[in-house]
């Protein structure tokens, strides 16, 4: 039985850009308030994200959430451009179009629709020990470097490496658990894409990253792990659904993780 503590909360106001660390977060509509509430979208309707281009890593974003302001800069350069993300939307989109050298718009939704899997996942969870387990096999990487690559929302300490995978079960079944006031359902382990191999600041791809991660996972796989059943070990973090009825509830760093038990659910196809 897991007996961990929430040690870190991170949200990503603009999908694929920089995170904001919080000590307390409230739930919006099936997601943490402000998390992935905006996304950069190209004319073809696809997201401008790390899967598409490493240029997203070269764009720095800083936020004032209370006043709905964002400052953009080219990473490593002092010049910053500040905008209100609603009132200055035209100027924001012009800046981003110039930066990415393509026409883009800034999509906004406060209903969790900009998540990768909006019907099946609200946040992602992992343990500090999972990240730490990779460090011996990835020389030159730091804990923060790995955090920026895997982009989890909630980090738990006090549980073994990959202990977070006990928060999910077989397809069609989930695990109910609670952090602070918020009840959640662990859905599935998260398959990773081509984003984690990219350097979080330059966008350059580390061609050895996936192989190193898979080898590390194979060497540290917990007894009874179901990850091999998915056909690959290139998995990290757990997809977690925040069900209806949790709006305005909150969780805070230091809150305990309480497992409530299994639950059946119908996952949208």
Among 108, 126, 159, the domain-final residue is 108
Instruction: Looking at the structure, tell me whether residues 69 and 149 fall in a common domain.
Output: no
Strands (E), the chain: 5-11, 20-22, 24-26, 38-42, 59-64, 69-74, 81-84, 104-108, 123-127, 154-157, 173-179, 182-191, 235-241, 250-252, 257-264
Instruction: Looking at the structure, tell me whether residues 104 and 119 fall in a common domain.
Output: no
C-alpha 216: how far from chain center: 21
Instruction: Looking at the structure, tell me whether residues 144 and 194 fall in a common domain.
Output: yes
Rounded distance, CA 133 to CA 128, Å? 9
Q: Are the C-beta atoms of 26 and 2 separated by less than 8 Å?
A: no
pLDDT 10s digits, 123-175: 999 999 999 999 999 999 999 999 999 999 999 999 999 999 999 988 778 99
| pLDDT given at position 1 | 66
Among 108, 131, 152, the domain-final residue is 108
Does 202 map to a domain?
A: yes
Instruction: Looking at the structure, tell me whether residues 98 and 196 fall in a common domain.
Output: no
| pLDDT given at position 44 | 96
| The total number of structural domains that make up the chain | 2
| pLDDT given at position 256 | 98
CATH number at residue 239: 2.40.33
Does 252 map to a domain?
A: yes
Instruction: Looking at the structure, tell me whether residues 62 and 155 fall in a common domain.
Output: no
| pLDDT given at position 269 | 44
Among 79, 108, 137, the domain-final residue is 108
Does 269 map to a domain?
A: no
Instruction: Looking at the structure, tell me whether residues 48 and 16 fall in a common domain.
Output: no
Instruction: Looking at the structure, tell me whether residues 141 and 259 fall in a common domain.
Output: yes
Residues 6 or more apart in contact with residue 128 via CB below 8 angstroms: 7, 8, 143, 155, 156, 157
Does 161 map to a domain?
A: yes
Instruction: Looking at the structure, tell me whether residues 118 and 86 fall in a common domain.
Output: no
pLDDT tens digits for the chain (269 residues)?
Answer: 688 999 999 999 999 999 999 999 999 988 999 999 999 999 999 999 999 999 999 999 999 999 999 999 999 999 999 999 999 999 999 999 999 999 999 999 877 777 766 566 789 999 999 999 999 999 999 999 999 999 999 999 999 999 999 999 887 789 999 999 999 999 999 999 999 999 999 999 999 999 999 999 999 999 999 999 999 999 999 999 999 999 999 999 999 999 999 998 765 54
| pLDDT given at position 110 | 79
Instruction: Looking at the structure, tell me whether residues 61 and 132 fall in a common domain.
Output: no
Tokens 């998915």, residue located: 230
77: containing domain: 38-108
């Amino acid at each position: 039985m897991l007996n961990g503590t929430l040690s870190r909360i991170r949200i990503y106001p603009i999908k694929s850009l920089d995170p904001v660390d919080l000590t307390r977060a409230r739930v919006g509509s099936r997601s943490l308030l402000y998390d992935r509430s905006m996304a950069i979208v190209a004319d073809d309707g696809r997201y401008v994200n790390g899967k598409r281009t490493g240029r997203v890593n070269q764009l720095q974003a800083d936020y004032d959430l209370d006043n709905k302001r964002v400052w953009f800069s080219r990473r490593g350069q002092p010049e910053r451009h500040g905008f209100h993300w609603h009132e200055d939307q035209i100027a924001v989109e012009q800046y981003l179009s110039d930066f990415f050298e393509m026409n883009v718009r800034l999509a906004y939704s406060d209903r969790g629709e900009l998540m990768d899997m909006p019907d099946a996942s609200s946040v992602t969870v992992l343990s500090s020990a999972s990240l730490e387990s990779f460090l011996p096999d990835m020389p030159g990487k730091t804990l923060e470097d790995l955090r920026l690559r895997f982009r989890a929302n909630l980090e738990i300490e006090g549980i073994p490496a990959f202990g977070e995978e006990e928060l999910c079960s077989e397809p069609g079944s989930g695990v109910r658990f609670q952090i602070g006031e918020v009840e959640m359902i662990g859905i599935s382990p998260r398959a990773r894409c081509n984003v984690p191999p990219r350097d979080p600041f330059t966008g350059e791809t580390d061609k050895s990253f996936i192989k190193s991660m898979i080898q590390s996972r194979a060497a540290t796989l917990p007894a009874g792990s179901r990850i091999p059943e998915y056909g690959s070990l290139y998995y990290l973090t757990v997809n977690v659904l925040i069900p209806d009825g949790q709006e305005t509830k909150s969780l805070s760093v230091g809150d305990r993780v309480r497992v409530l038990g299994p639950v059946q659910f119908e996952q949208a196809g």
